[in-house]
Structure 1
């Protein structure tokens, strides 16, 4: 009997089946797909549960299995920085039951005798996967698409509220000595606090955390997160470096960006993109447009639908001529890696921040909401690879910032430091590097019973 038991143990198949559940926003889908491709390359079978809103075309990912929620959120609904909070609340309320039904359908589809699903990897912005996964006795790992320092700040928010930092009359420039280099004005607004509290809760109640960062970039924050949490933490980024050409864009990319960049001198072009959700007033949009025109610097500007209701001035393209190229959406990783790019004017979403750092591109920072001000503060004061537009959207201030970044010695120093981080971002993925070892540890954890 012992011999039979040993033979059965030897032939036991270890499950490599995973379920992934992204939030349907571009900044969350992109890293989740990079993670999916990475785990697929390590011989894991990937099933993706997605919403009908901003859904991906399964034909573009034949190596994955897709399930869609039967939800009531309109496929034509638009989310932006103007309606993000109520939009997220609506999603959380409407998706919980469809997710439970869909997850049950996925798990019921496992044929008798075949390997079961090993784990659910869910974006930590979802507030319900923990309870649902537990009801199916399924292990859950939280996936963070924001920085680790943002998690530390989110965990501190009740403390900062008790200290009165969100009361009228508080000093916005006051430094937060508990978590340098942040200032009071870098904290997320109170309208986001309930959402961020759920993010912290979902992370703390998971069985592990995967983050799109690396030790050399956020060592103090990663150490602090490990102190806060009693679960494994796996900083395996930068994730885009594993699958840089992966088709992860919800929006259609305009590849004329690359052909136009091919004609520009090295380090000459300012790439301008404020992400997939920023909404800009007509006044601010025109200030940005004229600042770019007046700067005399070549620029590639992403003006996606929904960025602003204001059209460009009629003679704008005639004024900037061949010096400016405007597209609705760009293949950002490919753009940032292009030799013609000398700087990136960004909203400082975490994907854009880590992609820019990993490609050695210095940044001009214009944060809009949630964690973006915190990322910008790290860029300017911790890593010193960029500068923040502290005085709002004014064309004269923007022109000064562009010159500092693109043509002055200060910008050259930032470019040099950014190049050092690019080297670290490459080395951490190599055999023996910090992210390489974290990935090994993650795979071992996923395969453990």
Structure 2
């Protein structure tokens, strides 16, 4: 009998590739063969930044298919990229699977697709292959996607996803309200992009009906109300490299690990860590205010300034004034940074991966969301878990240097944020430990994949999330 062979496909964005790559590593550890499918562009980035000790070996094959755009075209144009993906990738993925399946001993037995690639779930159904969806975002964000018919019926959005009202949205009595601008597809300024991205959301909702498993990179300790609203969404997270005591993989930029030695030289609980993920962009005024705000704090800081994050430069004489008190890198080994004892707090864009990495290391947050669901994640950090503070913008929409210094002093001057952060860390750690909810679900999922006799329409046992 042929061994299990799982094809894994993420949505082509950094925040989606990393967590599903972590899941793929878990499959490999169980002796399951994996074919990991990136777009051509992202495949080159990931391969160029893989460490030799990542150890994919023969069990994981990294392959790619085109996204339909030319290499030089702008993939930050989400309208153009989304429409190209939907038009090109389903056919290319089917051709890839047909090529693989010519060898009876290596046939694809299961497809795990990012929820944002719902068309791949439809393809798996069409080809008679076992299938599972993976949610790399918060379950609260997924819940808004799975509620689109209700939002249409309630007159919140039209059938193309365009918001019709500025009213806040309450998916359930126990979940925090959602503002129009925090809907993952409705945070764009132009209707064409909203409508294009909404096509992806519709496929998420449709794919959820075709999957035996919809597994999520979260835990009920973090968002039990969202899990209760959609009990089919099963927690298996947080999936982090630290859970398996290994290096994180899937990065689009080369990590600068030299900052870890610099952290070793800093006092315990003294360093401000600043990182804004793969998408945030700063204009000249905001970039300079952030730089000067960090200087005003007069504390050691580690700042990730990603290529393309800004077109401006540091204020005159800045690097000389800051000296060894500040360390600036292009990309950091974030999970190792956040686990370092010298870290005092995390100034973050509140992307879900960064949120999970901060939470699992018991680090308090200063929230600086930039885009879509990041604002919703900020709500959980500040209002539900109470492990951080948000910044206030001035009348020009700028977070000033004075505001930055004030919030740093407030966060680090009150030990309650650290206490609550450590409490959340303990609860989440128990969830992914043996006997915990996420650990049990992941174990059951791995067993289902390894059971080649399982029918493609088998349903997982329900999991009680009420404790």
* TM-score, L = length of structure 1: 0.87
Say which of 26, 31, 41 aligns to 2:14.
26
Distance 1:49 1:177 in 2: 36
1:186 touches 1:374 (CA, 8 Å); kept in 2? no
Distance 1:154 1:131, change over 3 A: closer
SS in 2 for 1:47: strand
User: 1:328 maps to what in 2?
Assistant: 330
- Distance in 1 (alpha carbons) for counterparts of 2:282 and 2:304: 13
Q: What is the CA–CA distance in structure 1 between the aligned matches of 2:150 and 2:234, rounded to whole Å?
A: 27
Q: What is the match of residue 153 of structure 1?
A: 144
CA contact (8 A) 1:151 1:200 kept: no
Out of 112, 128, 131, which is 2:122 matched to?
131
CA contact (8 A) 1:176 1:184 kept: no
Are the aligned partners of 2:304 and 2:330 in contact in 1 as well (CA < 8 Å)? Answer: yes
Where 1:278 maps in the other structure, the secondary structure is: coil
2: distance between equivalents of 1:323 and 1:245? 27
Q: Shift in Å at residue 263 of structure 1?
A: 0.9
Computed over aligned residues only, the root mean square deviation of the Cα atoms, in angstroms, reads 2.4
Residue 216 of structure 1 aligns to a residue whose secondary structure is helix
TM superposition shift of 1:387:
1.4
Residue 401 (structure 1) aligns with: 407
CA deviation after TM superposition for structure 1 residue 199, in Å: 2.4
Q: TM-score, normalised to structure 2's length? A: 0.84
SS in 2 for 1:399: helix
Instruction: Compare 177-186 and 267-276 and name the one that shifted more.
Output: 177-186
Go from structure 1 to structure 2 and tell me whether the alpha carbon gap of 1:348 and 1:48 turns closer, same or farther (over 3 Å shift): same
Distance 1:310 1:206 in 2: 46
- Change in 2 beyond 3 A, CA 1:365/1:71: closer
**Secondary structure of 1:238's match?**
coil
Supply the distance in 1 between the matched residues of 2:406 and 2:78 (Cα, whole angstroms): 32
Which string of whole-angstrom CA distances, capped at 9 and with x for unpartnered residues, describes residues 13-38 of structure 1? 47422111122321111111110111
**Count of matched residue positions in the alignment of Structure 1 and Structure 2:** 423
Structure 2 equivalent of residue 445 of structure 1:
448
- The 3-state SS of whatever aligns with 1:286 is helix
Change (3 A) 1:77 1:415: farther
Asked if residue 215 in structure 1 is aligned to residue 204 in structure 2, the reply is no
The one of 108, 132, 143 aligned to 1:141: 132
Which blocks of at least 5 consecutive residues in structure 1 are unaligned? 1-12
Match of 1:105 among 88, 99, 106: 99
Residues 1:236 and 2:236 are matched in the alignment: yes
Cα 1:268–1:204 shift into 2, 3 Å = farther
Q: CA 1:184–1:16 in 2, change beyond 3 Å: closer, same or farther? A: same
2-structure distance, mates of 1:365, 1:201: 33
SS state at 1:318 partner: helix
Distance in structure 2 (CA, Å) of the matches to 1:212 and 1:167: 28
Distance, in Å, in 1 between the alignment partners of 2:62 and 2:378 is 36
How far, CA to CA, are the matches of 1:169 and 1:66 in structure 2?
A: 44
The aligned counterpart of 1:89 is: 83
More moved, 358-367 vs 282-291: 282-291
Do the aligned residues in 2 keep the contact of 1:213 with 1:236 (CA within 8 Å)?
Answer: yes
Partners of 1:185 and 1:335 in 2: CA distance: 34
Q: Specify which of 421, 425, 435 is matched with residue 418 of structure 1.
A: 421
Deviations 1:403-424 (A, max 9, x none): 2223x11xx2111111112222
| SS of aligned partner of 1:67 | strand
Which position in structure 2 is the counterpart of 1:433? Answer: 436
Q: Aligned partners of 1:178, 1:198: CA distance in 2, in Å?
A: 26
Q: How has the CA–CA distance of structure 1 residues 399 and 393 changed in structure 2, closer, same or farther, with 3 Å as cutoff?
A: farther
